[in-house]
Amino acid sequence: MTSLQGLIRHHGLTEIEGAILAAVRSAVRLSLGEPNPGPGESRIGGLPDLPAALSWPLSEGGEALTFLLQLNLRDVPHFAGNPLPGRGMLYVFLGLDEPASDVEHRLLLYTGDEGLSPRPLPDAPPANENYGDLPPHGLGTVLVPDLPRWTSRAYEALTGTLSEDGQESYEALIDDLRAGQGQGRGHVGQLFGHVTGIGHPAEEDAFMVRDVDRAWLYDYGKRATVDMTGADAWRNLLRVNSVRELDLTFWDAGYLHFLIRQGDLEARNFGETYAAIETS
């Protein structure tokens, strides 16, 4: 915490130093590795390495979901409270991302002992042709502290008492913290940490769609009648950025994120996650 405390004081935020330190969450930054990683390695793009027990997931319409990435859980750095097992594979498959909200997807967790081998595309039309030809690259991982950023309930709670100058100082603190973590070129995304939204809190969208009424997602009159404290149960599971080196672009150079309830994460239940693209 020493370097973070130094940044807090450098930016004149000692009045909320305790709140900032309390808001820190562990996150795993994902960076772009070497091309063509071997079987069973963490990767983005290419083909998934699946066990025989897992079928290639299909969309509700019978189309083949697009493989996006796989994360070998041995690569996740150890930290207190990590809800994932120390071995196994987490797979991410994506459906059509139009509209950008409630994107169809499948997250598969495999912790068995079967061998893994590259799985060719099934004999089914693709659900999303935008990301199916990504050149395979490995994924590097590093543990970093993460603070609330942009539009989120945690960000609003932390910065709500600050003046406009104070909020600008907090943003500068975040920029310096992330610059020190090397979050620039080759930054693929982040596992865990804080939810980040654009325009309004993204965890409230997840709460509306999964726990209230999907039809109310864009009905802000009805949303105003809902007690949004239930949205605090939603957490960032995974965020995948647009990556120039891969020619990977989510809409207008935005990012794709997957949110999960805290209880589901602890139970390793990935069946009710929420996926959406955030873009300006």
State pLDDT tens for residues 78-133.
999 999 999 999 999 999 999 999 999 999 999 999 999 999 999 999 999 889 89
Q: What percentage of the chain reaches a pLDDT higher than 70?
A: 98
How confident is the model over 36-90, as pLDDT tens digits?
Answer: 999 999 999 999 999 999 999 999 999 999 999 999 999 999 999 999 999 999 9
pLDDT band for position 186 (cuts 50, 70, 90): confident
**10 Å Cβ neighbour count for 6?**
11
CATH code of residue 194: 2.30.320.10
pLDDT at 2: 61
pLDDT at 3: 87
Q: Is the pLDDT of residue 137 over 80?
A: yes
- Residues in Cβ contact with 88 at an 8 Å cutoff, skipping those fewer than 6 apart: 72, 73, 109, 110, 111, 112
Contact 152, 207 (CB under 8 A): no
Interatomic CA distance for residues 114 and 262, integer angstroms? 29
Q: Is the pLDDT of residue 184 over 80?
A: no
How confident is the model over 203-247, as pLDDT tens digits?
Answer: 999 999 999 999 999 999 999 999 999 999 999 999 999 999 999
Residue range 240-261: average pLDDT? 96
Domain carrying residue 135: 2-278
Q: Is the pLDDT of residue 201 over 90?
A: yes
Contact 147, 23 (CB under 8 A): yes
Interatomic CA distance for residues 211 and 260, integer angstroms? 12
Interatomic CA distance for residues 264 and 245, integer angstroms? 34
Q: Is the pLDDT of residue 185 over 70?
A: no
How confident is the model over 147-164, as pLDDT tens digits?
Answer: 998 889 999 999 999 999
pLDDT band for position 199 (cuts 50, 70, 90): confident
Walk across the sheet containing 89-94 and list its strands. 105-110, 89-94, 66-72, 43-44, 137-146, 25-35, 187-192, 234-241, 255-261, 274-278
pLDDT band for position 276 (cuts 50, 70, 90): very high
Contact 71, 90 (CB under 8 A): yes
State how many domains the chain has.
1
Interatomic CA distance for residues 73 and 20, integer angstroms? 29
